Structure 1
Amino acid sequence: MLRLLWKMYWKITGWHFRGTFPREYKKMVMIVAPHTSWKDILVGFSSRAMLGINDAKFLGKKELFDGPFGWLFKALGGVPVDRFSSQGMVEQVVNMINAHESFLLGMSPEGTRKRVDKLRTGFYHIARNANIPILMVGLDFGKKEMVFGEPFFASTDEEADIKKIISFFAEFEGSNPEGDLRHLKQTIE
């Protein structure tokens, strides 16, 4: 029933896909941007329903899963992480990924809905340490497009990889355009 509602939301709001979701990978870090509004979450969950992806995960602080809505976060694919663990967050997540046959992890490279002047790199280190590809997924609210980039593995040149990522995401208009990543294009030119 919930899947049907998500599909209805996708169709009613007029979103569409550009590119192809790479089903050949059982494990990936999917970085989705720009993340500027709660509306991004609705687009994300509805796209999962449209693509038939049942096992996509997202990270949340473990305190969210202890509260009254913990069951909901888990049902939606949430995975709790302990921000205060002696084992760093990257190591925790890599261990989770390695313990599963399939693990599709969605993350925001900004780490917040606010305007940022640089990307966070936890996603990058997770993908590199787990030896899994990164899939860039752009949300363009101006065109109502979800755009899939080509999956790639983190190289030994983090700076070049981050420039490639910024170049991809700098093309998309966020739900709140003042918070999207288009202003970062000047940092890589």
Structure 2
Amino acid sequence: MALETRKPSLLSRGVRALLMWFYRRQGWTAVGEIPEPRRFIIIAAPHTSNWDFLYYIGLTQTLGIQPHFMAKTALFRWPMRNFMLDMGGVPVDRKKGGNYVQAMIDEFGKHKEFMLTIAPEGTRGAVRKWKTGFYHIAMGANVPMVVGMMDYGKKTGGLGPLIWPTGDYEADMAKVAEVYAKVTPKFPSKQMASITGESET
């Protein structure tokens, strides 16, 4: 499942240009610095709207990075395969007992630079607990987590502090919660009730 390297297609370049134009028109400002080495999990939260992804593309491009994201293998079939890869998608087959956590740990082992974005809420609606797969990937790959932020109150977004997983999930998530307590999502009523406590991976 090694990532392919090639010149982005005309379609993907056009989509990125359109998103950047729209992002700039909305008046967003990118904040934060890119940790080195560029091998980490980006926690994408709070995720309450489809607009999050559009603005996130603009923000990361402004910061000069192209994070990757997981997507089901069906999305990488013709005619969408090249477009999905160009946008940073990594195909994951969760059928037949596929273990996406181990697949992503293996993916980190293949690259000197790999930034994986994961939305642990798993949905745009309100949730009680985060899924913890992102944490297990960080532990298994021995990489830190970076808090990704989309603050609709200030119209700022980007990367927050770097947090190394210690194995104490609740203690580590308390640090993450402290950061997100200062961030205003697009729909605050849908923000998660808790990001501590084990849930499904």
TM-score by length of 2: 0.82
In the TM superposition, 1:88-99 aligns within 5 A as 88-99=99-110
CA distance in 2 between counterparts of 1:185 and 1:30 reads: 15
Match of 1:16 in 2: 29
The yes-or-no answer on 1:175 pairing with 2:186 is: yes
Residue 100 to residue 85, structure 1, CA distance change in 2 (3 Å): farther
Whether the 8 Å CA contact 1:6–1:49 is kept in 2: the answer is: no
Q: Secondary structure at the match of 2:127?
A: coil
In the TM superposition, 1:1-189 aligns within 5 A as 2=14, 3-22=16-35, 24-54=36-66, 56-66=67-77, 68-181=79-192, 183-184=193-194
Amino acid at match of 2:71: G
CA distance in 1 between counterparts of 2:23 and 2:135 reads: 29
Q: Secondary structure at the match of 2:161?
A: coil
The answer for unaligned runs of 5 or more in structure 2 is 1-12
CA shift, 1:102, in A, is 1.2
Residue 179 to residue 70, structure 1, CA distance change in 2 (3 Å): farther
RMSD: 2.2
Q: Secondary structure at the match of 1:96?
A: helix
After the TM superposition, which parts of structure 1 deviate over 6 Å for at least 4 consecutive aligned residues? none
Amino acid at match of 1:40: D
Whether the 8 Å CA contact 1:167–1:185 is kept in 2: the answer is: no
Amino acid at match of 1:129: G
Q: Which segment drifts farther, 70-79 or 165-174? A: 165-174
The answer for unaligned runs of 5 or more in structure 1 is none
TM-score by length of 1: 0.87
Q: Secondary structure at the match of 1:184?
A: coil
Q: Secondary structure at the match of 2:163?
A: coil
- Alignment: residue pair count: 184
